[in-house]
A and B are shown apart, each in its own frame.
Chain A
């Protein structure tokens, strides 16, 4: 059976559905989106604000560049677009610098390159340092951060650092609260 091709009407319906979902966001949802945008903007140069990133994600979604799929929450959808935009930003800089990206994908495409450009290195190190400082007062959080950086699973992190499941879960909860607090309110 041939899958049904997306028609123009399907695309318009998807945009209308997205617009409805955006309009239905609560204030708590909007603040969560803000915290996510602020987190994702950490991986970008400082002249790109979280609101630039979020506005661009919404624009791409509403102009149909990114199609809103059924069965996914609008916040997760926009978070995915922001993630792609961040990757796209670095790919574009690499193209402009004459460095070819042969991987072609969003996910880890830039990370797979053996020599990230100096600007990205600088932004990355600043972001890692800021995250390190954010959780510096919480040793378990710092351990989890190190484990995440190394690509460890939750089970591997617990085993590596001798954390019980309860310790791990409660630490992740503290980390989430701190991130929310930082993402929602710290620039005020």
Chain B
């Protein structure tokens, strides 16, 4: 019997399922939203979805958007 390492198994599953989600169409997403009976905005607001970056070209200032980040991100630190 072949024994599969659990961490490797999970990694493979997540990679495959992520590929499925990447391939999901806008129509599929909209169908799910319709099922919930909620607006997409409300679903996006759930538990701090990232804010869409905004541009400020007219003001001529720093146009690079920055997400609203928490200061105590567990993943902060360490080189990427």
Contacts and interface: CB of A to CB of B under 8 A. Distances in A.
Interface of A: 15-16, 19, 22-23, 25-32, 34-36, 39-40, 42-43, 45, 47-56, 58-60, 62, 65-66, 73, 75-76, 79, 81, 83-85, 88-89, 91-92, 108, 110-111, 116, 120-121, 124-125, 127-128, 131, 145, 148-151, 172, 175-177, 179-181, 183-185, 187-188
Contact of A55 (B32, B65, B67): B67
B75 A85 contact: yes
A177 B28 contact: yes
A31 B18 contact: no
Q: Which of under 10, 10 to 19, 20 to 34, or 35 or more describes the interface residues of B?
A: 35 or more
A111 B7 contact: yes
B59 interface: no
A59 B36 contact: no
Contact of B49 (A34, A79, A110): A34
Interface string B5-17: 1111111111111
Contacts of A35: 21, 24
A79 B18 contact: yes
A184 B6 contact: no
Interface string B25-63: 010111011011010111110111110111100000001
Contact of A92 (B5, B12, B78): B78
Contacts of A19: 53, 55, 63-65
Contact of A176 (B23, B40, B41, B53): B23
B9 A188 contact: no
Nearest to B78: A92
A175 B17 contact: yes
Contacts of A59: 66-67, 69
Given A27-B44, A185-B43, A108 B8 contact: yes
B10 A31 contact: no
Contact of B54 (A23, A28, A52, A108): A23
Q: 6 smallest A-B Cβ distances: which pairs?
A: A149-B9, A27-B40, A28-B26, A111-B8, A28-B29, A51-B48
